Amino acid sequence: MMRSLPSLLLALLALASTTAARAAYPDKPIKLVVPYVAGSPADNVARTLGEGLSKRLKQPVVVENRPGANALIGTQALARSAPDGYTIGIGNLDTHALNPLLYKSTGYDADKDFAPIVLVSRPTLMLVGSPALAARNGAELIAPAKAQPGKLTYGTGVSAAPRTCGASSSNRPRASTCCTFLFGARRPLPTRCSATRST
């Protein structure tokens, strides 16, 4: 019994030092990857989030914009980062649901390469039009589009979600909610991170 006491004390000391080392997180700046351009909605969310995290964690949170290829470039960079909690990123409908459907190869596995940290926002897409159309709802907008193919045009923002909704609107009116998530690298996702609601 007396011989095992020093071993137990050494093991506890080693465990305590390991726990103390882990408790120091974060002990250096955190990089927040945004796969969109500066000034985009995702960038604005990330900068607000980064400012709050910096104050709370007492470490700088540096927003790094990695736009391009419908968010593939930034999302690939996040997937390749070390899974140490010092590189996190913004993900949404584009990065984790649409891109895997739109592209033969995304360079990442949306289900396996990321761990959701927190739901950050739920922005809703809106359909707006010119008063000259006299359409009060989606059905009234789709009717003249079907009756006169190619005469109406539409524009969207920087992500694939509005384009996808616009392209599918010839079938029926649709509302889509795009969730924005904060992700870390290389941990399994319990579910696919997208939310779409049809009306």
Based on the fold, state whether residues 50 and 148 are members of the same structural domain.
no
CATH code where residue 43 lies: 3.40.190.150
Question: Among 122, 114, 124, which residue's Cα sits nearest to residue 180?
Answer: 122
Report the distance separating Cα 175 and Cα 160, nearest Å.
14
| DSSP per-residue letters across 56-123 | HHTS-EEEEE---TTTHHHHHHHHHS-SSSSEEEEE-HIIIIIHHHH-S--SS-TTTSEEEEEEEE--
Question: Among 97, 103, 111, 118, which residue's Cα sits nearest to residue 165?
Answer: 97
Q: What is the pLDDT of residue 157?
A: 59
192 occurs within a structural domain: no
Quote the domain boundaries for residue 181: 27-123+177-185
Q: What is the pLDDT of residue 141?
A: 80
Per-residue pLDDT for the chain (199 aa), expressed as one digit of tens each?
A: 445 444 434 444 454 455 555 658 899 999 999 999 999 888 999 999 999 999 999 999 999 999 999 999 999 999 999 999 999 999 988 899 889 988 999 999 998 999 888 888 876 667 777 788 788 888 888 888 888 888 877 766 555 555 455 444 444 333 334 445 566 654 433 333 333 333 3
Q: What is the pLDDT of residue 174?
A: 37
89 occurs within a structural domain: yes
15 occurs within a structural domain: no
Q: Which amino acid is at 98?
A: L
Q: Which residue has 């897409």 as its token pair?
A: 125
Question: In 3-state terms, what secondary structure has residue 2?
Answer: coil
Q: What is the pLDDT of residue 161?
A: 53
Based on the fold, state whether residues 111 and 159 are members of the same structural domain.
no
Q: What is the pLDDT of residue 152?
A: 76
- E strand or H helix that includes residue 54: helix 41-57
Question: Among 184, 197, 181, 198, which residue's Cα sits nearest to residue 84?
Answer: 184
Please count the residues of the chain. 199
198 occurs within a structural domain: no
70 occurs within a structural domain: yes
Instruction: Domain count for the chain, please give it.
Output: 2
Q: What is the pLDDT of residue 122?
A: 76
Based on the fold, state whether residues 146 and 118 are members of the same structural domain.
no
Question: Residue 124's beta-bridge partner residues?
Answer: 177
pTM comes to: 0.63
Based on the fold, state whether residues 58 and 116 are members of the same structural domain.
yes
At residue 114, φ and ψ (nearest 5 deg) are -135, 155
11 occurs within a structural domain: no
Based on the fold, state whether residues 147 and 72 are members of the same structural domain.
no
